[in-house]
Structure 1
Amino acid sequence: MRPVFGPGSQFHALFNDPRWALAIVRATVLEAAHPQIGAALIDNSTFVAHPWRRLRNTFLSLQRMFGADEHVRNREAARLNRLHARLNGTDARNRPYDAMHPDVRAWVAATMFESAVTMCRLSGQPLDRDAMEQLYTEFQAFLATMGDGAGHLPPSLHEFWTYYDRVVEEELENTEAMRIILYKLFDHLPAPPLLNGLPTLWAAGRAVAGPVVGAITVASLPEPFRRRAGLPELPGAQTLMQGAYLAVGLARLLPEGWIKADTIADLLALSPDSDDPRARTITALRDKMNRAGALIRLITPLPPQPDTATQGGLQRSAEEFFAEVLDQTGNGYLDWPDLAAMARELSSRLDLDEPEETRLYNAFADWWRELQAALDTDGDGRINAQEYATAVPSLAGPALIKVAEVLFDATDKDGNQTIDADEYRALFRSAFRRDTASTEAAYTRSSFVKDFLSFMSGRRHSTPYDPLLAQA
């Protein structure tokens, strides 16, 4: 009998399959079409402003949940439950949503299972009955690890398809979150951190790839839902979709180890300042491309570019800081979900347990109350860019100082009142570049708090903190 988790499981065999890139997009669209999940994404998720960060965190979570280590799996399940418990509210039609609802969580597992089955079928290698039964058992075990009781997913694979068709035909909607993923996200997808220095190249590639990915995804969705949601299908989209799955599937013929999902996700999230050898290699290649581009511009002059001393250098306007750092959800406002997203990202990076995680969330909640009292001039419960820019606030009040103190304590795992190189990398995922010739070779509490407050005051770019909270 094959193991349910870890090496030898069906999910483990599929995890590094390059076709997952298409299947995950498809599953995410089907999740976002569920009204409760769509509302939670719109209100709380950073997938619009920080899609690469969200992608890496998703891959890391799946790796932990389906890995062989039971302790790691249970710890990740507890973390996800704490995260989901904080995601509840009402949608635009005043309908309640709750990320802890077992039927909602069952639908997330259902979309991942069904999209895995579909990706194999569309690429000409359908799963046989035994493999499909095994994969379904693994997703049922996934929900059981999360603490959900049996019955929210049907007990047998045969009954699953009836359940799946019913949800698709009766419950899914053309939600705002789904439309953003299909028609806006790829058109405006920011470059991953490591490619930030190549905006023209990235924009050109995105202009071609974005509509193609959208068309492929729409064509792969269940036909009853496409019809009911009014999703247009371009002529030839079915052929394009099947060709894409077949072409991507050929990558599985590469030597073992060449395609690893977590390695690719890590690479996309790397900061150019990272001490990872891969970052240095790609940064060197990017520098050569930039020099080549400079030569081309000498031969064919382009219109004058903005002054990088003010727009791309150390200085940052209040509007830039608001959009890049404070508005984590990308909805144009600063409110509690934005600060909660910061706490969530910091907690995930540091792999915090419940007491430390709750302490960090509480510190951010106190800061939100302080900001709201000072900047919410129209009393609508949120802060817009104009309110923030007009006030030109110094954000380093007592509550933000408390956030910095709590974050330092969480990062300082050994409690020696300094952050060493390993602790630094755990938080920033970049090189430890303190001045070893000075008396501050280590990162002391006072230095950490000072740097954090300087960054969160919003006027200057910061090498370590920009990748932490500003980059996509």
Structure 2
Amino acid sequence: MPGPGPGLGDQPGAEPPSRFRTFFNDPRWALAMVRATVLEAAHPTIGAALIDNSTFVAHPWRRLRNTFLSMQRMAAVDEAVRDREAARLNRMHARLTGTDPKNRPYDAMDPGARAWVVATLFESSVTMCRMSGQPLEQDFMEGLYAEFRAMLASMGDEPGHLPDTLPEFWQYYDRVVAEELENTEAMRIILYRLFDHLPAPPLLSGLPTLWATGRAVAGPAFGAIAVASLPEPFRRRAGLPEMPGAHTLMQGAYVAIGLTRFLPESWIRPENIIDVLSMAPDSDDPRARTMAALQARMKRAGALLRLITPVPAQPEPAGRATSATASARRQEAEEFFRQVLDQTGNGSLDWPDLAAMARELASRLDLDEAEETRLYNAFADWWRELQTALDADGDGSISAQEYADAAPTLAGPALIRVAEVLFDVTDRNGDQCIDAGEYRTLFRTAFHRDSTGPAGTTYTRSAFVKEFLAFMSGRRRTTPFDPLLAEA
């Protein structure tokens, strides 16, 4: 583990974080992040905000990529980058309010909840080192804690929500674990459902059987490791069962994953790994071509197996052909509803789903406050238009059935306005044309924000609006908007 680095004060604008950045390329950080996320979700305020607004159920890979990108910005050397990201996070959190299942109001700007998010990141960083047999030295730990306190201060939170000293922090941490954390729905989803239904990343989407087999083995193991790593008092109070041997499995996982840090750095850099996983199979990147070749060989092997053991065809019942077209159209509409419109994965279309789309687009384009507000307002107008057109029972949300019954009415004036605003904020130089660089900024499939788009890629306003409307009305799913808003 790296030794103590330069110190960092508690005020915004202080020397950029150095100790925190050492964890970015540590493979153990993946386990620590899962653990921290579980502890965050167990906080009632955070858990309620996640359930109502987050895309972690329907789009876990996208959420992972965006979270890691945000952490990179918050730990950037450039103070302007840190300040801009802090302002963006504050705007995002300010929009997340509501009421939890116990009728308790929640607000993502609650200073206690925000302090707990930072606390879980720090404590899980310390714990991952201890569990893997490399406990942090006291000086390093104190410097790391100062960096996390400075990160919270850079968000504009008043001092005092995290204790001043490390000994006081452990008392604070134990108190929150013992008195405030709950067995929330968001926590249960992360522990027991998220891994079981985790969709394949884009590059592996063509190998459903292989992915399902690996997930069936790895999912329960990851869940057991996460449960075993949680504080014992909380496990008992929340009634979380610990599998026999889970503690040994957990320590073995931390040690084994920690050994990968001796591999070449380019192999284990998280952005490189997620970059490959989130890459489209038809990408011109050499790594994508290699994976595509492997996929093709495995598909040929699967086809050969099916030839050896053919499944007899079933005769189609009489009269079914008559309704086949209508059934197929309805099925396509419901699939579009699940993959694109229901961003939060709760089975219905609500304002948080459209807000999640606006949030994803604003984050990709790194919009300033005025542009971001303009985009959110356009999506809010579209939501009101959708409610008027599709909410047949007046319950304030739109079901998949309601959408499938009236899908063509999606392309109304408000949706056209969303397309026009999106074009305006993407067209950074204002030349009324989206060039190759602007195209890639919006439609990139991974981390690279400064690369150029395909040669000759341009969009006029009319072409952009036409393609956006064709996608959002479910009429065409081969546009660049499909991986942008439908990818998991």
TM-score in same-fold range (> 0.5): yes
1:218 aligns with 2:227: yes
Conserved? CA contact 2:203–2:280, under 8 Å: yes
The answer as to 2:355 corresponding to 1:340 is yes
- What's the RMSD between the two structures over aligned residues? 2.3
Query: 178, 188, 206: which is aligned to 1:169?
Result: 178
Which stretches in structure 1 are left out of the alignment for 5+ residues?
Answer: none
Deviations 1:273-306 (A, max 9, x none): 434443333223322322232223223335769x
Question: What is the aligned partner in structure 1 of residue 444 from structure 2?
Answer: 429
1:272: Cα distance to partner?
2.4
C-alpha separation between the residues in 2 aligned to 1:339 and 1:318?
A: 17
Give the alignment's TM-score, normalised by structure 2: 0.91
Q: Which amino acid aligns with 1:2?
A: P
Alignment partners' CA distance in 2, 1:133 and 1:329: 38
The aligned residue for residue 66 of structure 1 is 75
Query: In the alignment, which residue of structure 2 is the partner of 1:411?
Result: 426
- Give yes or no for the alignment of 1:14 onto 2:30: no
Q: Quickly say closer, same or farther: Cα 1:324–1:256, change in 2 above 3 A.
A: closer
**In 2 relative to 1, CA 35–153 (structure 1 residues): closer, same or farther, beyond 3 Å?**
same
- Residue 150 of structure 1: aligned partner: 159
Distance between the aligned counterparts of 2:307 and 2:185, measured in 1? 45
Indicate the SS of the match to 1:68.
coil
Cα distance in 2 for residues equivalent to 1:295 and 1:158: 63
Superposed, 1:75-224 pairs within 5 Å as 75-224=84-233
Distance 1:310 1:19 in 2: 50
Q: Hey, what does 1:24 align to over in structure 2?
A: 33
Residue equivalent to 2:461? 445
C-alpha distance in structure 2 between counterparts of 1:51 and 1:296, whole Å? 32
Q: In 2, are the aligned partners of 1:316 and 1:458 still within 8 Å (CA)? A: no
CA–CA distance in 2 between the matches of 1:144 and 1:45?
24
Indicate the larger mover: 221-230 or 190-199: 190-199
1:38 and 2:47 correspond? yes
- 1:394 CA displacement: 2.7
Deviation at 1:258, TM superposition (A): 2.5
Q: How far is 1:199 from its partner?
A: 0.6
Query: Would the aligned equivalents of 1:7 and 1:13 in 2 still touch at CA under 8 Å?
Result: no
How many Å separate the matches in 1 of 2:253 and 2:313?
40
Q: Give the deviation of 1:314 after TM superposition.
A: 11
* Counterpart AA for 2:469: L
How many Å separate the matches in 1 of 2:365 and 2:156? 24
Query: Secondary structure at the residue paired with 2:221?
Result: helix
Counterpart in 2 of 1:390? 405
CA contact (8 A) 2:74 2:81 kept: yes
User: 1:252: Cα distance to partner?
Assistant: 1.0
* Offset from partner CA, 1:373-416 (integer Å, 9 cap, x none): 11111111111111111223331100000000001111111111
Residue 296, structure 1, aligned to residue 305, structure 2: yes
| Aligned 8 A contact 2:467 2:479 in 1 | no
2: distance between equivalents of 1:450 and 1:277? Answer: 32
Q: CA 1:383 to 1:142, structure 2 compared with 1: closer, same or farther past 3 Å?
A: same
Going from structure 1 to structure 2, the CA distance change for 1:7 and 1:258 (only over 3 Å counts) comes to farther
Stretch of structure 1 that moved more, 11-20 or 161-170: 11-20
Q: Which amino acid aligns with 2:278?
A: A
**In the alignment, does 2:362 pair up with 1:350?**
no
2-structure distance, mates of 1:257, 1:141: 29
Deviations 1:409-464 (A, max 9, x none): 11111111111111111111169568x6xxxx631111111000000111331241
Q: Is the 8 A contact 2:41 2:47 kept in 1?
A: yes
State whether structure 2 residue 273 is matched by structure 1 residue 264.
yes
Q: Distance in 2 between matches of 1:144 and 1:303?
A: 66
Corresponding residue SS for 2:267: coil
Task: Report the Cα offset of residue 315 of structure 1.
Answer: 10
The answer to whether the Cα contact below 8 Å between 2:74 and 2:82 also exists between their aligned partners in 1 is yes
**Secondary structure in 1 aligned to 2:408?**
coil
Q: Residue 373 of structure 1 aligns with which residue?
A: 388
Alpha carbons of structure 1 residues 158 and 284: separation in structure 2 relative to 1, 3 Å: same
TM-score w.r.t. structure 1 length? 0.94
Name the CA distance, whole Å, in 1 between partners of 2:288 and 2:369: 33
Distance 1:16 1:8 in 2: 15
2:6 aligned residue: 2
Task: Check if 1:399 corresponds to 2:414.
Answer: yes
Q: Letter of the aligned partner of 1:363 in structure 2?
A: A
Q: Which moved more, 1:17-26 or 1:422-431?
A: 422-431
> Which residue is 1:364 aligned to?
379
Q: Is the 8 A contact 1:29 1:181 kept in 2?
A: yes
Q: Does residue 47 of structure 1 match 2:56? A: yes
